[in-house]
Amino acid sequence: MPPRRSPAVPAGQHPRQPGRAARLAAVVERDGGTCIWCGRGFGPLVAATTEHVVPRVKGGPSWLENEVAACRRCNADRGHRPPVDWLEECERRGWAPDAPRLARALAALGEAIERVGGQRRARPYLDAQLRRVRRRFPEAAPDRRRTVAP
């Protein structure tokens, strides 16, 4: 059987994403071997998962730019809460959340949406989260004021 060819990606569309295991490996390599929310290192007792920064129910795409590495406990506990709310909850619990990594993830998603387009439902949610992370953690946030164009 001949190998499957991936079709050319038309301009303005996001390329096809790799499978779940490949996405997890890419996210862990990009973000490091710790949970973004509690700071625990991944290993045999702490399993890594990918988590959508902008939840799918809020219009977040299934793109690598919208995924971060999180432990199963944090991924399950967060549910569909906004990322800045969950970051604040993690601080209240005494954990060591990574606000700069969250700010970078939100900014990278905004840039990907600018580049590719679409994602009408995710844009206002993303803009609000970027404003909140800048206000709450000014040292962590990139200095761009408006990441996602209307």
Map residue 48 onto helix, strand or coil. Answer: strand
In angstroms, rounded to a whole number, what is the distance separating the alpha carbons of residues 127 and 11?
24
Q: Phi/psi at 131 (nearest 5 deg)?
A: -60, -45
Ranked by mean pLDDT, the top range of 3-7, 16-20, 41-45, 135-139 is 41-45
**What is this structure's pTM?**
0.79
* Mean pLDDT, residues 107-118: 91
| pLDDT for 143 | 54
Residue 37 tokens, joined: 């929310």
The CA distance from 96 to 143, in Å, is 23
19, pLDDT greater than 60:
yes
Could you give the CA distance from residue 58 to residue 135 in angstroms, rounded to a whole number?
Answer: 21
Whole-number Cα distances in Å, 53 to 63, 124, 150: 10, 14, 20
Name which residue leads in pLDDT, 49 or 147.
Answer: 49
Mean pLDDT of the chain: 85
Segment 48-93, tens digit of pLDDT: 999 999 999 988 998 999 999 999 999 999 998 999 999 999 999 9
Q: What is the DSSP string of 81-129?
A: --HHHHHHHHHHTT----HHHHHHHHHHHHHHHHHH---TTHHHHHHHH
Instruction: Report residue 125 CA to chain centroid gap.
Output: 13
